[in-house]
Amino acid sequence: MFMRGSINRPMVTVTIPLYNNVRFIAQTIDSVLAQTFTDFELLIYDDHSTDGSFEIAASYSDRRIRLVRNPVNLGPERNWNKAIGEVRGKYVKLVCGDDILYPDCLEKQVAVFDDPLNTGLSLVCGQRTIIDPEGKPLIKKVNFVNGGRKDAVEVVRKMIRMGTNIIGEPVCGLYPAELISRISGYSAVVPYTIDLDFWLQLLRLGDLYVIDEALCAFRISNQSWSSRIGEMRYQQFLEFMELAAADKRHEVTDLDLFIGKINCAIQSMTSLMGFKLFANNNDRVVNSRVLSTPE
């Protein structure tokens, strides 16, 4: 096990913006507490859940956990920003209430920042596994970007050309806490790309480093926010690309945007068909269990 410093000044803050994840939140918390790197605090911001999620989180007695319950529901944007508003760690990782960290996730990401050859990084990401509600891998490793250090401008241009999220969801990233005051935080102006907008803000301040192995799992379920807005993906990603291209710092060309719009349409169609197939299969499994369960 790896531990430095004390809990009063942890090396890492893991923060969970929680809302109605009663089915998964225990798995998420357990995956954080099981990290081989133990010098962290875990902040949980419950956005006035109504399904028992808060009570599950409150049942943990680990001294590294600090649990806050919002008196009213703030919504994702305000709760996510609250979740990164009082961090004490040198580095920050935001984990949604249904995702999973693999045991060596923090250890390997902190090690990248610790390497003196890696000065000037603003974001370290691992690859991710896509899992279903039961935790079964649907895609063992999503790999749009190979491992190593990546120039920030090139990452943004590649993301625009591919028309999809090549960096990963919030659970994939670790970033320096000192950068939070230099950016504007999470913005849900384009809800589908709330995480990508945040990554772009960080990448204006430094480069990306990718660890080319799955260090976490992103869960697809009917309860996830990204799934609920999935049918708006195409229009919202187009809006995100237009906004990114308009920022001259990203050096996005007209050709990048043209190619990206084509790929975005293809990616959106594929993603929507895949999710609908998953949702239909999942509903059949749930219905089958209900019908076969004795009174």
Report yes or no on 281 lying in a domain: yes
Cβ contact 36:104 at 8 Å: yes
3 within some domain: no
Q: Tally the domains of the chain.
A: 1
Do residues 223 and 23 lie in contact, with contact meaning Cβ atoms separated by under 8 Å? yes
Whether residue 205 lies inside any domain: the answer is yes
Residue 2's pLDDT is: 41
The answer to whether position 217 is within a domain reads: yes
- Phi, psi angles (nearest 5°) of residue 6: -140, 170
pLDDT at 109: 98
Q: Residue 269: which CATH number?
A: 3.90.550.10
CA distance 285 to 13: 37
Q: Which domain holds residue 265?
A: 12-290
Note whether residue 197 is domain-resident. Answer: yes
d(CA 176, CA 294): 52
Distance CA 111, CA 116 (A): 10
The pLDDT of residue 8 is 73
Separation of CA 272 from chain center: 20
Specify the pLDDT at position 99: 96
Alpha carbons 196 and 97: distance in angstroms, whole number:
18
Residue 38 Cα distances to 35, 53, 61, angstroms: 6, 24, 16
Q: Is residue 184 part of a domain?
A: yes
In angstroms, rounded to a whole number, what is the distance separating the alpha carbons of residues 48 and 169? 23
**4, part of any domain:** no
pTM over 0.85: yes
CA 171 – CA 216 distance, rounded (Å): 7
Show pLDDT as tens, one digit a residue, over the chain (295 residues): 444 444 478 999 999 999 999 999 999 999 999 999 999 999 999 999 999 999 999 999 999 999 999 999 999 999 999 999 999 999 999 999 999 999 999 999 999 999 999 999 999 999 999 999 999 999 899 888 999 999 999 999 999 999 989 999 999 999 999 999 999 999 988 888 999 999 999 999 999 999 999 999 999 876 554 444 455 778 899 999 999 999 999 999 999 999 999 998 887 777 655 555 544 555 443 333 333 333 3
Burial (CB < 10 A; 0-12, 13-18, 19+), residue 257, is buried
The reply to whether 213 falls in a domain is yes
Q: Please tell me the predicted confidence (pLDDT) of residue 266.
A: 86
